[in-house]
Amino acid sequence: MKKLGGKTYDCAAGCPVEATLDLIDGKWKAVILYHLLSDTIRFNELRRRLSRITQRMLTRQLRELEAAGLIHREIYAEVPPRVEYSLTALGRSLEPVVRMLWTWGDQYLAGRRSRAPSLNGAASPPQLADH
């Protein structure tokens, strides 16, 4: 048995995937990580980039990513206060995973746009390019 983030995993087949998904689960965490790949970003800039997220949800997701050690929050003693977020080394290690999620999603969306419904009304699965 292994403990990670307060949860215990039995380390059966698939456990590393479960542990990884537990860190980046939810609608916004991977998207936040994607935006932080390129730069250090202030809270309000993240909020502008993620226009459909509420302030409360963004705060919650950022706190969870910080607690997991994936992002760093820097608070500057200024008026008004300035808070910036950046990836930690651990968060940066997820870069290949986040970029592959983007690539897969881009190909999936392109396939969805170009597919015609099949005879039974269900859409056919996307054909992804080999890498």
Provide the CATH topology of domain 27-114: Arc Repressor Mutant, subunit A (1.10.10)
**What integer pLDDT is reported at residue 19 of this predicted model?**
83
Q: How far is CA 14 from CA 5, 73, 118, in A?
A: 17, 31, 33
DSSP secondary structure string, 42-55? EHHHHHHHTTTS-H
| Per-domain residue ranges of the chain | 27-114
**Rounded distance, CA 71 to CA 33, Å?**
8
User: For the segment 42-77, what is each residue's pLDDT rounded down to a tens digit?
Assistant: 999 999 999 999 999 999 999 999 999 999 999 999
The residues near 109 (Cβ < 8 Å, ≥ 6 apart) are none
Q: Assign 28 to helix, strand or coil.
A: coil
At CA 15, angle to CA 11 and CA 19, rounded to 5? 120
User: For the segment 5-35, what is each residue's pLDDT rounded down to a tens digit?
Assistant: 666 656 566 678 888 888 898 899 999 999 9
Residue in the structure block whose two tokens are 């870069």: 95
**What integer pLDDT is reported at residue 28 of this predicted model?**
96
Stronger pLDDT, 111 or 88, i.e. the higher one? 88
Q: What is the pTM of this model?
A: 0.75
Mean pLDDT of 97-122: 79
Helix (H), strand (E) counts: the chain: 6, 5
**What integer pLDDT is reported at residue 120 of this predicted model?**
52
Q: How far is CA 68 from CA 28, 89, 105, 116, in A?
A: 15, 12, 25, 42
**What integer pLDDT is reported at residue 131 of this predicted model?**
43
